[in-house]
A and B are shown apart, each in its own frame.
Chain A
Amino acid sequence: MWKQFLSKLPRRSSKSDSACDSAHNHPGSNASPSGNSIQRASSGNAGPGRSTTVKRMSSAVFPSSVVAGIEPLLSFKDVPNAEKQNLVISKLNLCSAVFDFSDPNKNSAEKDMKRQTLLDLVYFFNSGTPRFTEPMISASCRMFAINLFRVFPPNYRTNSSSGGETEEEEPIFDPAWSHLQLVYELLLKFIASSSLDAKLGKKYIDHSFILRLLELFDSEDPRERDCLKTILHRIYGKFMVHRPFIRKAVSNIFYRFVFETDRHNGIAELLEVFGSVITGFALPLKEEHKIFLWKVLIPLHKPKSVGVYLQQLTYCVTQFMEKEPKLASSVIRGLLKYWPVTNSQKEVMFLSELEEVLEATNTVEFQKCMVPLFRRIGYCVNSSHFQVAERALFFWNNDHVISLVAQNRQAIVPLIFPALEKNSRSHWNQAVLNLTMNVRKMLSEMDEELFLACQRKLEEEEERREAVEEKRKMTWERLESAAAFQPVTGNTAVLVRPVMTPPMAATLT
């Protein structure tokens, strides 16, 4: 169903061609009413000598020039209203020149000019203009694309440092931020502006544009990711037609991160956007959205850098559960599936999320998963890392959890009792020991008869343990000898011992 749904969407970048065509046809007709069209062949690089300063022009899907025919450096207040549209386009074209910021002294005059022009544009976009015309939209999107859609430089950081939150990394700041920031501001104003008609805008804010915008989320610069977050949110809100596509494209980013690369800088930001997307899902939840929960959000618990975005992830998960409480048991099972067994730091985080999820779990759902759940909690209680053990024991400070346990004590106490017993005998940490005693006391007060029964059962089991172990060994030994004496049929004459790589010739007889 998910697949069918997706296949109905138009494929990537099929829009760009039509975008080019329309842009080439319209400018003339739209520009003529202004009456003052000075036919000057000014292209994207307006000023003299500027073409040499252009470092790299993105192979944009947008037309390479939209003729505006007005000096871009004029101020908005110096031109009549009718001329303003052309001035915007002219300024946008000027801002489509990209400068090299690796050397701060290079082209500083031009850089200042561009900055000033960007500020002019921000001011203009702010001042409540009439509806954007198509040439304006086209020129804007082209300017955004050329400035923003770039390839990030290699990451020279050590790969080992993607661990937990303790290793605070110094964020890397983009040297070109003084320009980028204004371009982002402009993009945000542009998208959010009531002057932008969504029907017209979607021709330029198309799949290819969105895809490349999403790629930018991998930026090292937290300021950039923050801008992108707001912009993506607005695009999702404004362009209803693109919603399925955005959800699909973001899912693909998550898949790649979880199943292939394990590296991405913008997972937290993308999840934050999705937090509000999920809040907006209509009830009953579509199958597609549930699949997103199971196939994307739950596996996102696997990567080792989960600590960086766990807060946002937990929010998304709990949003789902608030919408549809029946999802609780599958969420809990998912967490158990990706439970970290060798990373104590992650384990503490998982326990916190688990508690939050349990808060929103009703009895029926709880009963579906309580056995594996409390088996896992039992292991955590016994962890030799005191923070893990402590965190697990804190579950009994939670009234909702206690009431769930109390209702289902016949199943849970026998699971948890051996773990408590083991701790009270041999845990090294005093705090854990004290907590263990408290929980023990609480359980025995909850149902003394059951508690004593568990105690007896544990004693019996301990007596039997060696015998069980011995029996298992014997069974396998008998199996081994039975296997060795199994009558040999024609084909496998050579297989008296286990063979690692079977010789091909053996079967040709």
Chain B
Amino acid sequence: MAMIDEPLYPIAILIDELKNEDIQLRLNSIRRLSTIARALGEERTRKELIPFLSENNDDDDEVLLAMAEELGVFIPYVGGVEYAHVLLPPLETLCTVEETCVRDKAVESLCRIGVQMKENYLVDWFVPLVKRLAAGEWFTARVSSCGLFHIAYPSAPDQLKAELRSIYSQLCQDDMPMVRRAAASNLGKFAATVEQSYLKAEIMSIFDDLTQDDQDSVRLLAVESCAALGKLLEPLDCVAHILPVIVNFSQDKSWRVRYMVANQLYELCEAVGPEPTRVDLVPAYVRLLRDNEAEVRIAAAGKVTKFCRILGPQLPIQHILPCVKELSSDSSQHVRSALASVIMGMAPVLGKDATIDQLLPIFLSLLKDEFPDVRLNIISKLDQVNQVIGIDLLSQSLLPAIVELAEDRHWRVRLAIIEYIPLLASQLGVGFFDDKLGTLCMQWLEDKVFSIRDAAANNLKRLAEEFGPEWAMQHIIPQVLDKISNPHYLYRMTILQAISLLAPVLGVDITCQKLLPVVIASSKDRVPNIKFNVAKVLQSLVPILDQSVVENTIRPCLIELSEDPDVDVRYFANQALQASDQVMMSS
């Protein structure tokens, strides 16, 4: 190529590439902006590249998104934090585009840059930017501005602070609900930077306005900031200002609002202190647990453990447990499922006696639930209850539940229960496991669904890790190796997979004596897929076996396979041979 001597014009290259009709090329060049910047040097990056980017923002949203992201980490290329402010103009423009993803990314990058900027630069450059966006003509700019106040505010002098607060308050009353929503959802972040005195005087009145907004969607976001604000205020103020609001919200006519409250309520308990919790929050929570709308009960049920953990043992036994009992036979399976996924966590909170008296019957009824998810959720958290009352009390009901799930007609349910087998094994102990669950584990190796067979092989490995090689030799290996004579090649493949997983756990001796012969024998299989899988397994065994074994057993077998009539078998055999060469050389 003759152009080696041509001088390089990095900007020209970029401009050229950004003109290309292929979006992939444009994206690639934006992704390599830092290269161009380094080639240009800091000064020319500031004076040429960044202004060019500020103007070139008419591209596809995908390209703009990439640009917004790159600029967020661009400070070093413009000469460090001293010059960080030159990056603001292109990002400011990106804050105003239509596409939400691009705007969000631009705001994120601005925040990232803002936290690094020095105070006086923030005041000179960042604050004016926020003010400009907040006064933007189109709502996109105003929406973006809401996410920047918490960066701009702390470094501003008092007068500017007052101005920023009043601008934020205006945004909360904006004509467009989009802007009010953005302001509501960023209120918590902004409030965290505002001084206590203004918090009470100004932020709380903004908050009050938002909580009375006529748009459902705005009030919804105001609920979100309840917890955040509550944590910022002194307990007394929190009781005075936040508590009435949240109690009110918990009876809102919109179920979405109540749903939000149900999700958040526990976070306020600490902020308001024990007495108001008992008097106001617990009754509100109980109401939500008994809400008409299943969606709200799902949210409330999902938080029952977190709530009880804060309350201590007494209040839950009195007030919450009766509701929990009701929920365990709720008409909605999703409510029961949400409850089942957290209820085990209540055992440590309530202590042994209450757990046995009150929770155990609920566990048992959930374990017999007609909906598999509910049963699964109980089983998945078994360890939590085991610590409190021991597993014996449950094991009677547990086994039928497990067996039923193990044979469920939905493979995803079977898969889920396999995932929990090692946990169950460790909780139930070897004895119980051998008697009841061992056969199940073998059965799964011959499941009709690949994912189940795959998980079954992996499960054997985890069991071997849990109970040790000797146990495995007795209880797993013979059965597994038997299955290598299965007439269907897919099942034989599963066994090979299991062998390759078990070998590292069981150690050199067992592998050489028991496993390797089976693998070698399979190299004579009539199905090519088995043969190339033999090659793959042998390759995985090379690093863990002695060199002599590799030399005398594995390599001859691989060499034979490398002359197989099937092209794939030859390919994988050669791969394995090469890999074994490398291992030999390095050792």
Contacts and interface: CB of A to CB of B under 8 A. Distances in A.
A259 B100 contact: yes
Contact of B178 (A256, A500, A501, A502): A256
A495 B38 contact: yes
Contact of A3 (B21, B79, B137, B214): B137
A59 interface: yes
Nearest to A336: B60
A475 B21 CA distance: 18
Given A154-B294, A474-B3, A259 B178 contact: yes
Nearest to A480: B35
Contacts of B216: 151, 215
A388 to B, nearest CB: 18
Interface in B3-33: 3-4, 8, 10, 13, 17, 21, 25, 32
A4 to B, nearest CB: 9
B293 A507 contact: no
A283 interface: no
Q: Chain A interface mostly helix, strand, loop or mixed?
A: helix
A260 B98 contact: no
Nearest to B296: A154
Interface string A459-484: 00000000000111011101110111
Contact of B73 (A3, A494, A501): A501
Highest count of chain B CB atoms <10 Å: which of A255, A491, A499, A500: A491
Interface in B230-258: 253-256
Highest count of chain A CB atoms <10 Å: which of B37, B82, B176, B216: B176
A151 B3 contact: no
B181 A495 contact: no
Given A151-B253, A471-B3, A495-B76, A504 B116 contact: yes
A203 interface: no
B50 to A, nearest CB: 16
Given A479-B10, A482-B8, A502 B75 contact: yes
A264 B214 CA distance: 19
Nearest to B42: A489
A39 interface: no
Contact of A492 (B60, B79, B255, B294): B79
Contacts of A194: none
B47 to A, nearest CB: 15
Contacts of A506: 76, 80
Contact of B214 (A7, A211, A507): A211
B545 interface: no
Interface string A256-290: 10011000000000000000000000000000000
B275 interface: no
A471 B1 contact: yes
Nearest to B135: A3
Highest count of chain A CB atoms <10 Å: which of B36, B116, B214, B217: B214
Contacts of B75: 502, 507
Contacts of A489: 41-42, 79
Nearest to B213: A12
Contacts of B36: 479, 483
B120 to A, nearest CB: 16
B471 to A, nearest CB: 45
Contacts of A107: none
Contacts of B42: 489, 491-492
Given A375-B21, A471-B1, A492-B80, A154 B178 contact: no
A82 B254 CA distance: 42
B330 interface: no
Interface string A115-159: 000000000000000000000000000000000000101100000
B13 A475 contact: yes
Interface string B61-93: 000000000000101110111100000000000
A106 interface: no
Interface string A1-22: 0110011000111000000000
Interface in B93-125: 98, 100, 116
Given A151-B254, A259-B178, A471-B1, A500 B35 contact: no
A58 interface: yes
Q: Chain B interface mostly helix, strand, loop or mixed?
A: helix
A502 B253 contact: no
B34 interface: yes
Given A151-B255, A153-B293, A504-B116, A486 B41 contact: yes
Contacts of A504: 81, 116
B253 A486 contact: no
Given A479-B39, A483-B38, A492-B76, A6 B255 contact: no
Interface bin, chain B: 35 or more
B334 to A, nearest CB: 9
B175 A499 contact: no
A455 to B, nearest CB: 20
B295 interface: yes
A275 B446 CA distance: 61
A313 B175 CA distance: 26
Contacts of B80: 491-492, 506-507
B177 interface: yes
Interface in A346-363: none
A352 to B, nearest CB: 23
Given A479-B8, A486-B38, A506-B80, A153 B177 contact: no
Contacts of A7: 175
Given A259-B100, A492-B80, A154 B255 contact: yes
A130 B222 CA distance: 47
Contacts of A500: 73
A506 B75 CA distance: 11
Nearest to B139: A255
A411 to B, nearest CB: 14
Contacts of B41: 486-487, 489
A476 B34 CA distance: 12
Contacts of A56: 253
Contacts of B255: 151, 153-154
A12 to B, nearest CB: 5
Contacts of B35: 476, 479-480, 483, 498
A208 interface: yes
B73 A502 contact: yes
Highest count of chain A CB atoms <10 Å: which of B17, B38, B254: B38
Contacts of B254: 151
Nearest to A499: B76
A222 interface: no
A299 interface: yes
A487 B255 CA distance: 63
B58 to A, nearest CB: 10
Given A471-B1, A482-B8, A492-B42, A6 B175 contact: yes
A482 B35 CA distance: 9
Contacts of B181: 260
A410 interface: no
Contacts of A487: 41
Contacts of A499: 73, 76
Contacts of B25: 472
A470 B2 CA distance: 12
Highest count of chain B CB atoms <10 Å: which of A153, A211, A502: A502
Contacts of A259: 98, 100, 178
A434 interface: no
Given A252-B176, A492-B42, A507-B81, A502 B8 contact: no
A188 to B, nearest CB: 24
A11 B215 CA distance: 13
A255 B178 contact: yes
Given A7-B175, A491-B76, A499-B76, 5 more contacts: A484-B38, A486-B38, A495-B76, A498-B34, A498-B35
15 contacts: A153-B293, A154-B295, A211-B214, A260-B178, A474-B1, A474-B3, A478-B8, A479-B8, A483-B39, A486-B38, A486-B41, A492-B80, A498-B34, A498-B35, A504-B81
Nearest 3 interchain pairs by C-beta: A507-B80, A483-B38, A483-B39
